[in-house]
């Protein structure tokens, strides 16, 4: 009996050892599994990208157009052959920048918006094509562009890209990818960025002066400018939700506080308590520092700061204004929009309805629609193929041989 038990025990041990050996995998098998996993993730991301693109592919007439038409020659992972590490370089460099400047997300969103809104996403907003002619005005000198931030950060990322892949990745793609990554770092939704953009060889001062929406535009003007780029009312309300992060200059709102439209009175659409908060925040903003610059301030530093900027969070009792959520829309419902153009979304029945939709849940609806709107924004009027060029320095055109 004892011998029989010993034999059974040995048999069980042998079976166990064999099963362990069979479960072991050679390094090549592990690598193959890892490759399969990566391929699966890439395929899922690509499927998600195409889904979003189809959802957002809307023509200026409001009809659905084909995916190939909407992409205008852009591709998923365009640099996979000649610079496969491009997107990871942008992502890692953007992460380092964000650790130093966690308010950079709004700056890059605004920079991308101003670039794409004028002749498309072609990096013309960076370009100095004056050739030393002081009588020629360039796009970045236009009044709406003078307060833009993010150019230095894009130059930093472009330098990293060119160190790895000289002359391959365009400034336009660098801006589009960096903005998406900055949105994600700020807690915003991921959205796919198709690549293959090329850079414009000229800038557009006059167009930037006339066609970029202004902080004091009424709802009619705002809707008109967005509709010219193919955005409907819902997409317009959604894109303006990017104002939920970042900070706004007091210069953009001062007339609402004291002399709205030359009346000598504040803007009647501003909530009374909020009006007092804004006045307190901006009361010392006419004074500057000894070096002529204006410092930053948060809503909790208003008494001790001479800054001319305030965070969107000043209008939010829910968040600090640093989160990518829907407090922007909740503020509008309470008459607490910082910019006149923002609060004007409540002056139109249709846009007010969408404000209410975005304010009604935990931000899920806003974030979903924002992903789709940003895909569409990032693809406006792109140059691809042989059009345009790939600049070595984003501020200057590349010499053509």
Enumerate the active-site residues: 114
Is 325 annotated for ligand binding? yes
Is 213 annotated for ligand binding? yes
B/e letters for 191-214, b = 16+ CB within 10 Å, e = fewer, are bbbbbbbbbbbebbbeebbebbbe
The distance from CA 205 to its chain's CA centroid, rounded to whole angstroms, is 23
Is 243 annotated for ligand binding? yes
Residues contacting residue 219 through CB under 8 Å, at least 6 positions apart: 341, 344, 345, 347, 348, 351
Is 122 annotated for ligand binding? yes
Half-sphere exposure of 176 (CA within 13 A, CB side): 30
Is 124 annotated for ligand binding? yes
- Structural tokens at position 128: 């100095």
B/e letters for 359-386, b = 16+ CB within 10 Å, e = fewer, are beeebebbbebbbbbbbbbbbbebbbee
Question: Is the distance from CB of 105 to CB of 182 less than 8 angstroms?
Answer: yes
Half-sphere exposure of 146 (CA within 13 A, CB side): 10
Question: Is the distance from CB of 383 to CB of 115 less than 8 angstroms?
Answer: no
The distance from CA 81 to its chain's CA centroid, rounded to whole angstroms, is 26
Is 139 annotated for ligand binding? yes
DSSP H or E run through 310:
strand 309-311
What are the φ and ψ backbone dihedral angles of 63, each rounded to 5 degrees? Answer: -95, 160
- Structural tokens at position 288: 């500057």
- Structural tokens at position 306: 């001479």
The helix/strand/coil state of 240 is: helix
Mark the binding-site residues for substrate, compressed into ranges: 213
Q: Which residue positions form the known binding site for Ca(2+)? A: 115, 120, 122, 124, 139, 325
């Amino acid at each position: 009996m004892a011998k029989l038990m010993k034999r059974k025990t040995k048999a069980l041990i042998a079976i166990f050892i064999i099963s362990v050996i069979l479960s072991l995998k050679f390094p090549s098998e592990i690598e193959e599994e890892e490759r399969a996993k990566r391929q699966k993730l890439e395929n899922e991301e690509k499927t998600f990208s195409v889904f979003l693109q189809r959802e957002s592919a809307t023509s200026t007439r409001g009809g659905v157009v084909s995916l190939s038409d909407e992409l205008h020659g852009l591709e998923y992972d365009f640099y996979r052959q000649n610079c496969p590490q491009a997107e990871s370089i942008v992502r890692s460099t953007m992460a380092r920048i964000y650790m130093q400047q966690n308010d950079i997300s709004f700056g890059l969103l605004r920079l991308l918006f101003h670039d794409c809104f004028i002749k498309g996403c072609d990096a013309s907003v960076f370009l100095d094509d004056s050739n030393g002619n002081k009588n020629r005005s360039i796009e970045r000198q236009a009044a709406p562009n003078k307060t833009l931030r993010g150019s230095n950060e894009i130059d930093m990322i472009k330098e990293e890209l060119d160190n790895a892949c000289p002359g391959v990745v365009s400034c336009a793609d660098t801006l589009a990818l960096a903005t998406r990554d900055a949105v994600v770092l700020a807690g915003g939704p991921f959205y796919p960025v198709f690549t293959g953009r090329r850079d414009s060889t000229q800038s557009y001062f006059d167009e930037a002066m006339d066609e970029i929406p202004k902080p004091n535009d009424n709802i009619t003007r705002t809707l008109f400018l967005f509709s010219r780029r193919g955005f409907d009312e819902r997409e317009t309300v959604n894109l303006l939700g990017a104002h939920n992060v970042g900070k706004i200059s007091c210069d953009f709102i001062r007339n609402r506080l004291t002399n709205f439209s030359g009346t000598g009175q504040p803007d009647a659409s501003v909530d009374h308590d909020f009006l007092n908060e804004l006045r307190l925040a901006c009361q010392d903003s006419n004074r500057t520092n000894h070096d002529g610059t204006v410092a930053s301030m948060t809503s909790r530093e208003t008494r001790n700061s001479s800054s001319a900027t305030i965070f969107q969070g000043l209008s939010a009792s829910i968040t600090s204004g640093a989160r990518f959520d829907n407090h922007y829309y909740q503020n509008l419902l309470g008459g607490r929009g910082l910019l006149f153009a923002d609060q004007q979304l409540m002056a139109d029945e249709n846009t007010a309805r969408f404000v209410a939709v975005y304010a009604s849940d935990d931000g899920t609806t806003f974030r979903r629609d924002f992903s789709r709107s940003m895909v569409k924004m990032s693809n406006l009027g792109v140059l691809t193929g042989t059009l345009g060029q790939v600049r070595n320095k984003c501020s200057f055109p590349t010499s053509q041989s």
